[in-house]
Amino acid sequence: MFWVIPLIFLIIFEIVADIFAKEYALKGSWYFWVSAILAYVIANSFWLWSIKSGSGLARGAIIFSVSSAVLAVIIGLYFYGEETNKIQIAGMILGLLSLILIFWE
């Protein structure tokens, strides 16, 4: 399960990039734009490393997608005051359930 380490870094850099992208959307500074692009490039470098290390495209993509989506929603709710509804919360719960099922062996 060595592939988990680069996958964790992928998720971290993706969230950092999402925060920079949100800051760019709010403030319009070129600094946030450049930072977001660089963070996305670094994140995708870890994606390549994760796939090469054995995460598998399907399993790795689901883990990455659900994890980064749930973290982005949490950051959006708590730091940016964004709102969500019951259906979206149900979707996040199902996403977390999918992670449990993927790691179930």
63-79 pLDDT, tens digit per residue, is 999 999 989 989 999 99
| Residue 105, pLDDT above cutoff 70 | no
Q: Specify the pLDDT at position 64.
A: 93
Q: What is the average pLDDT across 33-58?
A: 95
**Domain limits at 66?**
4-103
Burial of 8-23, coded b for 16+ CB within 10 Å and e otherwise, reads ebbbbbbbbbbbbbbb
What is the reported pTM?
0.87
